[in-house]
């Protein structure tokens, strides 16, 4: 399964990595590894995680208060958001109609 990110999801991921690295050296790297593990779990079992809408699901990270919001479109896992779960929980909804290459 191919994994694609909306541009804003990439920005969220990069911002979170930078934030955690500011908090403690190497913590951002650990966050990025946890996101990668979460993406692997999703790719292996894409329908296993709770639905947020008809086609959108969320998988929570195990160690950090973040979730990966995603859609499966044919053989592509489209990451809509890498969201802190305590901030603006519905912000991703405006992104679901965008193509991964569209600017945000």
pLDDT digits (tens, 9 = 90+) for 21-41: 999 999 999 999 999 999 999
Q: Among candidates 89, 96, 38, 98, which has minimal Cα distance to 63? A: 38
Q: Is residue 13 part of a domain?
A: yes
- DSSP H or E stretch at residue 18: helix 7-23
Work out the pLDDT band at 97, boundaries 50, 70, 90. Answer: low
> What pTM was estimated for this model as a whole?
0.82
Q: Is residue 103 part of a domain?
A: no
DSSP string, 23-70: HSTTHHHHHHHHHHHHHHHHHHSTTSSPBSSSSEEEEE-SSSSEEEEE
Q: Is residue 10 part of a domain?
A: yes
Tell me the CATH number at 68. 3.30.2310.20
Alpha-carbon torsion, ordered 20, 26, 31, 35, to 10 deg: 140
Please give the mean pLDDT across all residues of the chain: 88
Domain total of the chain: 1
Q: Is residue 104 part of a domain?
A: no
Domain extent, residue 45, equals: 2-90
pLDDT of residue 85 exceeding 90: no
Please state which of the ranges 56-60, 64-68, 82-86 shows the lowest mean pLDDT. Answer: 82-86
Q: Is 97 left (phi over 0), alpha (psi -120 to 50) or beta?
A: alpha
Q: Express as a percent the part of the chain with pLDDT over 70.
A: 83
Paired residues of 59 in beta bridges: 68
Q: Is residue 44 part of a domain?
A: yes
Q: What pLDDT score was predicted for residue 86?
A: 81
Q: What pLDDT score was predicted for residue 90?
A: 59
Name, in order, each residue with C-beta under 8 angstroms of 47's C-beta and a sequence gap of 6 or more: 57, 72
pLDDT, tens only, 68-80: 999 999 999 999 9
Q: Is residue 67 part of a domain?
A: yes
Q: Is residue 98 part of a domain?
A: no
Q: Is residue 6 part of a domain?
A: yes
């Amino acid at each position: 399964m191919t994994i694609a990110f909306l541009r804003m999801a990439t920005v969220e991921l990069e911002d979170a990595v930078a934030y955690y690295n500011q908090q403690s050296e190497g913590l951002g790297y650990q966050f990025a590894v946890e996101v990668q593990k979460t993406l692997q779990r999703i790719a292996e079992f894409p329908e296993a995680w709770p639905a947020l809408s008809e086609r959108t699901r969320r998988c929570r990270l195990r160690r950090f208060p973040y979730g990966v919001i995603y859609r499966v479109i044919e053989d592509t896992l489209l990451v809509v958001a890498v969201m802190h779960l305590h901030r603006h929980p519905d912000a991703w909804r405006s992104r679901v109609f965008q193509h991964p290459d569209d600017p945000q």
